[in-house]
Amino acid sequence: MAKAIFAPFADQWGPEKIIHIYEPRLPMRAIVVIDNTALGPAIGGIRMAPDLTTEEVFRLARTMTWKNAAAGLPHGGGKAGILADPGLPLAEKERLMRTLARAMADLTEYIPGPDMGTDEVCMAFIYDENRRAAGRPKVTGGIPLDELGATGFGLSVAAEQLAGHLGMSLVGARMAIQGFGNVGKAAAKFLEKSGAVLVAASDSAGAIYNPHGLNVGRLLALKEQGGKVTDYTDADAIPADAIFSLPCDILIPAARPDVINLGNAPQIQAKMILQGANIPIALEAERFLHERGVLTLPDFIVNAGGVITTATEYRHGSTAAAFAAIAEKIRENCQAVLRLVREKNLFPREAALELAQNRVREGMSYRRRF
């Protein structure tokens, strides 16, 4: 019986708590997973989606354990999910957020932040209830991480390191981005500053391609006005999945989990893949790509810009401090992982996990055992 309840998640790292919250009067169904708090209170976003599962929330919480540890943050990993449509009217979202916040009032080892389907306004409601949330609006002491493009900035820092390892230049490098949202748009903007050329982009409505380059400024303006990437003129519309097989140097999945798998990995022509989304590559495809010489470092190393900003906000740090920390931590971590790959011939995910797990293991050694 115990096995049925705790398997398949429980292992030597956690999760410490899996909480299912149900409020029949709304109704509200939510899942909170506190994975590991050896390094400090867990930090991780609240996702809103109708089809969330305990397994997805657990996998995301575990990713946060490694991401926070790898980034050297004094935080453990956790994640929450509300099973609801992210397109609900704001008043209904507010009811859900406040109900969840009240249910989590005593869960002081968890600091929520925004994730897909929630935003800074949702965090303001949580903060109003509990005084414990990050990724809040500016007037309540928040750093607007999506507006600033913190995660996309971090991806551009990682790209410099990966390019150095490959001996390639970012100047003129062609990039294709799946998911032209907060992360994808900022990655395009910052990588363009490094000289890269955007040749393809997609959103949930479709994908476009122009081998001579897309104008990032025009595409950003179009999205700002509520448009779709397919509204961009001067590019060909292509099937959504074709974005993975185009001739390009840098591929950036910045939408949903598991979008690169053994089905499409053999067609990938890029030299490097920047994992903007969380768990965008199925593990077996990541191994396959490594063996084929396509360089990709794990999501929890390269897309840590958002959580580094959230953790800086939690300590009342400034935007400048957050960006300096992103540049330093992502650069150092990429170098450390690439060194292990070079010297020990490790698979990058194993190398990165070794780095993160050593920190969590040490944190766990200081905890009371009884």
Catalytic positions are: 79
Interface residue with ligand NAD, options 72, 179, 298, 348 (CB under 6 A): 179
- What are the start-end ranges of the H helices in 167-304? 182-193, 216-224, 283-291, 299-302
The interface with ligand NAD within residues 234-263 (CB under 6 A) comprises 240, 254-256
The region of 101-109, 161-169, 202-210, 322-330 touching ligand NAD under the rule CB under 6 A is: 202-210
What is the helix (H) or strand (E) element at residue 113, kind and residue range?
Answer: strand 110-114
Q: Least separation, in Å, of the C-beta of 113 and ligand NAD?
A: 9
Of the pair 68, 151, the CB lying nearest ligand NAD is at: 151
Return the SS3 of 243: helix
Of the pair 276, 298, the CB lying nearest ligand NAD is at: 276
DSSP state of 131: S
Q: Least separation, in Å, of the C-beta of 318 and ligand NAD?
A: 18
Q: Is residue 296 at the binding interface for ligand NAD, with CB under 6 A as the rule? A: no
What span, in angstroms and rounded, lies between the C-alpha atoms of 149 and 294? 26
In one-letter notation, the amino acid at residue 138 is K
What span, in angstroms and rounded, lies between the C-alpha atoms of 148 and 163? 24
Q: Is residue 277 at the binding interface for ligand NAD, with CB under 6 A as the rule? A: yes
Q: Least separation, in Å, of the C-beta of 117 and ligand NAD?
A: 8
Interface residue with ligand NAD, options 145, 158, 301, 311 (CB under 6 A): 145
Is residue 34 within 8 Å of 75, Cβ to Cβ? Answer: no
Q: Is residue 297 at the binding interface for ligand NAD, with CB under 6 A as the rule? A: no
What span, in angstroms and rounded, lies between the C-alpha atoms of 156 and 192? 9
In one-letter notation, the amino acid at residue 307 is V
The interface with ligand NAD within residues 43-102 (CB under 6 A) comprises none
What span, in angstroms and rounded, lies between the C-alpha atoms of 95 and 30? 13
Considering CB under 6 A, how many residues would be counted as binding ligand NAD?
A: 24
Closest to 110 measured CA to CA, from 41, 38, 18, 35: 41
| Strand segments (E) across 122-221 | 174-178, 197-203, 206-209
Binding string to ligand NAD for residues 337 to 366, with x set by CB under 6 A, is what?
------------------------------
Q: Is residue 323 at the binding interface for ligand NAD, with CB under 6 A as the rule? A: no
Chain contacts with ligand NAD (rule: CB under 6 A): 115-116, 145-146, 150-151, 178-183, 202-204, 240, 254-256, 276-278, 303, 306
